Structure formats: structure tokens, C-alpha cells
Amino acid sequence: MKFSALKHILPVTLLLLFILFSCEKKSQQPATSSGSSSTSTTSGTTTGGTTTGGTTTGSSFYQNDSLTGTKWTLYQYRDALTTTPLPRTDTLVFIDADTYTWNGVPQQYWLGTQQNIYNKYVFDLKNTPFGSLRGFPPLTLKTYGEIINEPFTQSGQTNGQTFYMWFKKIN
């Protein structure tokens, strides 16, 4: 009976040792931060981060940007169900890295890049007449001063409505 027990224990032990020594330990990169420090959970991983523009971000996941000191106009838009744009004359003034006004009403915004979204900004506009919106305009928006027919979807809602918008920088 002793021999049959050893006959099963030995292969199991060898298998466990093989698994244990074949596992590769991944090195963790230390989080770096600038400014005030806080924590952010991204994809189930908690890392050090920074608070900039009113948004807590992981140190390598987001890169903040800003439209500070610029004035833009929303000159037309359409919803996802129509093809003909409707005229608008709304003015957006970007005061600092996280505050703007929509027709003189102060609101919050966030502009930045995200590690897994290439050649596009993440652009959040809070509390607009269309609701809180999130769009992904091209990185060239600051270079050319224009956003043309870009979808912005209502955020914070299940099945939020999408609006296609045309913005132009006016200063």
C-alpha cells in the first residue's frame, strides 16, 4: 500500500514543482506622479496617479491636454438619425484646464489622450444643452482649429444619444 501511494505522490509533486518553477514573475513598474497624488483603478489595477483638469488619472493611461484661453463655436450639428445638419450658434470659452463656458454658463470639460485610443483625443463636455457628451475628435483639432462631423455621445446614460458636431475655433 505504501508503494502505490508513493506512485501517485511522486508525479503530482513533480508536476507541482514544474508549474512552480516555470511561472515567470512579472516586474511591476513603479507609478510616477506629478502634482498631487491620488489613486485610480484602471482595468482592475490600482496605480498611483495625478489629479489634473478635475480628473484622477493613472500615470500612464491618460495624458491630459487643454484648450485653455481659446474660444470655439458650435456652428452645426445633427443627430445620428438624420443626414442634414442643423445650424447652431453656441459659443464655448475654455477658461482653464478643466473649466469652460457654454454660452456663458460655466461647466467642466476634460481633453486628453488615452493609451488605447490612437490618433484621437478623448473630449468630455459636461452639462451641455445636449447633456454630458463624450467624443473622440482627431489630434489635429488644435492644429487646424476645427472639429468636423464628429460623433459625441451622451455619457452617463444607458444608450445615450449620439450627435455629430461641427466646432470651429474663433480666436
3-class DSSP string for the chain = CHHHHHHHHHHHHHHHHHHHHHCCCCCCCCCCCCCCEEEEEECCEEEEEEEECCEEEECCCEEEECCCCCEEEEEEEEECCCCCCEEEEEEEEECCCCEEEECCEEEEEEEEEECCEEEEEEEEEEEECCEEEEECCECCHHHHCEEEEEEEEECCCCCCCEEEEEEEECC
Task: Answer whether residue 54 is part of any domain.
Answer: no
Task: Answer whether residue 128 is part of any domain.
Answer: yes
Mean pLDDT of 5-33: 50
Which domain CATH number covers 139? 2.40.128
- pLDDT of 34 strictly over 50: no
What's the domain range around 90? 63-169
Task: Answer whether residue 40 is part of any domain.
Answer: no
Its pTM surpasses 0.85 = no
109-147 pLDDT, tens digit each:
999 998 778 889 999 999 999 999 999 999 999 999 999
Total tally of structural domains belonging to the chain: 1
Task: Answer whether residue 110 is part of any domain.
Answer: yes
